[in-house]
Amino acid sequence: MSCLTRQLQQQLAKYIKKEVEVASPCDPSVVREELINRGVCPSAITEGQVRQVLEVAGFL
């Protein structure tokens, strides 16, 4: 499992806020697939890591 640094988490959170339409309630697996499909994140990113980024972004 790869580690996400705080800086990368913050950058992903900013990207999600600006570029990804997040439904309510927020489903980390859907956001993960969207980020992978857009080429923003590698497929090795876990759902737990996406959940952490969504917490930083204020969606959870």
pLDDT digits (tens, 9 = 90+) for 22-38: 877 888 999 999 999 99
> Confidence band (pLDDT; 50, 70, 90) for 2?
low
Cα 24 vs. chain centroid, distance in angstroms?
15
Q: Using an 8 Å Cβ cutoff, are 16 and 31 in contact?
A: yes
Q: How many residues does the chain have?
A: 60
Residue 55: both structure tokens together: 């917490």
Q: What is the mean pLDDT of residues 1-15?
A: 83
Q: Which pTM value belongs to this model?
A: 0.83
In the structure encoding, which two tokens stand for residue 27, read together?
């489903």
Which CA distances in Å does 42 have to 23, 24, 28, 46, 60? Answer: 22, 24, 15, 10, 22
Summarize the confidence of residues 40-52 as an average pLDDT: 90
The average pLDDT across 7-12 equals: 90
